[in-house]
Each structure stands twice: as structure tokens, then as C-alpha cells.
Amino acid sequence: MDYNQEQKRDRKTLLWAALAILALLNIVLLYFFYQERQENESKDTIIAAKTEEVLFTKTKLDSISIQLDAKIAEIQQLGGSVDSLIALKQQLEKDKQSLQSKNAYSAKTYEDKIRSYEAILSQKDRDIAQLKEELGIVTARNEELSQTVTGLQSEREALADSVTNFAVQNRELSEKVTIASALRAENIRVNALTAKGKEREGGNYKARRIDQLKVSFVLGENSIAKQDRKDVFMRILDPNGAVLSDMATGSGAFVHNGREMIYSSKEAVNFTNSRQNLDIYYGKGGVPLKDGKYTVELYSEGFKIGQGDFTVK
């Protein structure tokens, strides 16, 4: 009986010892768990702080990049060199790319880079101010030159206008002189000649009694006209407006107002400004003339100098 009780006591002692060991193990496990949790929280805090630093640095670099673009555009507009700023912008982009690797991030390194970039931006502000000042001087000089050039252009335009006006007036005067120098055919008469040479007057003729037409007129006085040899062209138009012509007997073509015209006959005369009488003949050949009113036109030196008519019945 005593032996059994002793065994029970031993078992109880072992049980309590086992429970004590388990409790101790739990305490140790809890301690390590707590320690690991503390370390993880510390790591998370460090990572969060580092991430915040990286984001802040990226924001600063983005701001510097925008300012660099503005400086490059402004200096280009002012005519300055931007090669160094373009190289700086390329380096800035590389620094921004490096931020993607957080393990290689160094706050101190990037603080130094940012201060360097900001110092360069400040220097460029001073350079831009100097460029603007220099440009202001150049602009003032350019305005003076522009005013001088404008004045010269105005004088040149005024001179050109005067020359143009003179040329117009000279041309108008020349045209007036040319028109005034045109000959004038006066007292135009058309007579009919028979085959036997008998001449009929009056302006009304029977077709069968017409072998030739004789157009007589006086060249009026004109002191402006040049006294030299002149060709006088005669056109005889039938009732339908067709020109009577026979190339075999002296008809041909001449140019009037840029247009070629057929003439019936022509005569050359040495103009002496003495109211000369001139006769021009046209032989109809074997072609009978139609009944109706005919028109006679006279031209010389590009001008129509007279017109007459006669009737065939």
C-alpha cells in the first residue's frame, strides 16, 4: 500500500514537472514571437520611412525636370546656348531611373544631387536675366535700325511712286502725242470706173458698170505727224461684212491692234502736211458685186483714219 502511494506521488511529480517545462517552452516561444514581431514592425517602419524619402526625392527631381524644360525653352527663345542644360537633363533622367532601385538609394547622395541641380537652376536664372538685358540693348539698337530702314523704305517708296507717276504721265503723254499724230482722211469719195475707163460719181452705181473702184480723199493737215513715207491700207466691205480682196491684184494683210486684217488695196505716200490728194484703186476682176451698201475703211500707222461708203444696185 505504501508502495502504491509512493508511485502515485512520483507520477504526480513528473506530471507537474512536464507541465512546468511546457509552460516554460510557451513562455520562450512567446518571447521569440514578440521579439520577431518587434523586429518586423521596426523593419516596416524603416521601409515606410525610406519609401517616403524616395517619393519626396522623386517629387523634387520631377520639379527640377520641369524647371529645366522651362529654362531650356526660355534660353532658346533668347538665342542662348542650351547644350549644358540638355546634358544636365539627361543626367537628371538617369538619376530618376536609379530611384527605382530602393536598395541602392542613398538619401545623402540624392540630397547632394538636388542641391547641385538647384544651384545650377539659380545660376541659369542669372544667365537668363543677363541675356534679357543684353537682348534689350540689341532690341533697342534693332529698333533704331528698323526706324532708319523704315524711313529709307518710305523715301524709296515715295521715289518709286514719283517714278511710277512720271512713267504713267510720260506714257499718257506719249499716247496722246501718238494719237494726235494720226493722219486724217477727209472728203472721202468713191467713184466707179467702167472697163473703158469712164468714171462715174455720186456713190450709187450699177454692178454691171463697175470694173474698178477709185477711192479719193485728202490727207488733212497735222503738224505733229512725222513727214515721211506712210502706207495707207484700204478695206472695202460688202453688205455682209466680207472684205473684197484679190491677192493676185495687190490685196494682202496688215496688223491692227494686235489682230491681222485683210486689206483690199494699199498705197504709199510721202506725207508733206500739205493737204495732199490721194487716190487708191481696187479692181474687182471678173467677180460681180452684190447689190447693197458697201463700206470703205482707211488705215495708216495703226489707226483708222477715215471711212466712207457707196451703194451698188
Task: Assess whether pLDDT exceeds 90 at residue 218.
Answer: yes
- Report the pLDDT value the prediction gives residue 245, as an integer from 0 to 100: 93
Q: Which of 18-32, 113-127, 187-201 has the highest mean pLDDT?
A: 187-201
- Report the pLDDT value the prediction gives residue 86, as an integer from 0 to 100: 86
Question: 208, exposed or middle or buried, with CB in 10 Å at 0-12, 13-18, 19+?
Answer: exposed
Give the model's confidence band at 260: pLDDT under 50 very low, under 70 low, under 90 confident, else very high.
very high
Distance CA 134, CA 144 (A): 16
The phi and psi torsions of 281 (rounded to 5 degrees) equal -110, 150
**Bridge partners (DSSP) listed for residue 298:** 234, 306
Give the model's confidence band at 171: pLDDT under 50 very low, under 70 low, under 90 confident, else very high.
low
- The model's pLDDT over 232-243, given as tens digits with 9 standing for 90+, comes to 999 999 999 999
- pTM of the predicted model as reported, rounded to 2 decimal places: 0.47
Task: Assess whether pLDDT exceeds 80 at residue 2.
Answer: no
Give the model's confidence band at 173: pLDDT under 50 very low, under 70 low, under 90 confident, else very high.
very low
Distance CA 175, CA 173 (A): 5
Distance CA 136, CA 38 (A): 66
Mean pLDDT across the chain? 81
Q: Are 221 and 202 in contact (CB under 8 A)?
A: no
Distance CA 305, CA 256 (A): 12
3-state secondary structure (DSSP) of residue 230: strand
Query: What's the average model confidence in pLDDT over 148-156?
Result: 74
Nearest residue to 183 via CA among 264, 73, 273 = 273
3-state secondary structure (DSSP) of residue 248: helix
Query: Cell for 21?
Result: 517545462
Is 208 or 295 the better-scoring residue by pLDDT?
A: 295
Query: What's the average model confidence in pLDDT over 209-227?
Result: 92
Distance CA 99, CA 104 (A): 8
- Report the pLDDT value the prediction gives residue 162, as an integer from 0 to 100: 61
Nearest residue to 232 via CA among 188, 196, 191 = 188
Task: Assess whether pLDDT exceeds 60 at residue 113.
Answer: yes
Give the model's confidence band at 91: pLDDT under 50 very low, under 70 low, under 90 confident, else very high.
confident
User: Where exactly does CATH 2.60.40.1930 map onto the chain?
Assistant: 185-312
* High-pLDDT (> 90) share of the chain, %: 35
CATH topology classification for 185-312: Immunoglobulin-like (2.60.40)
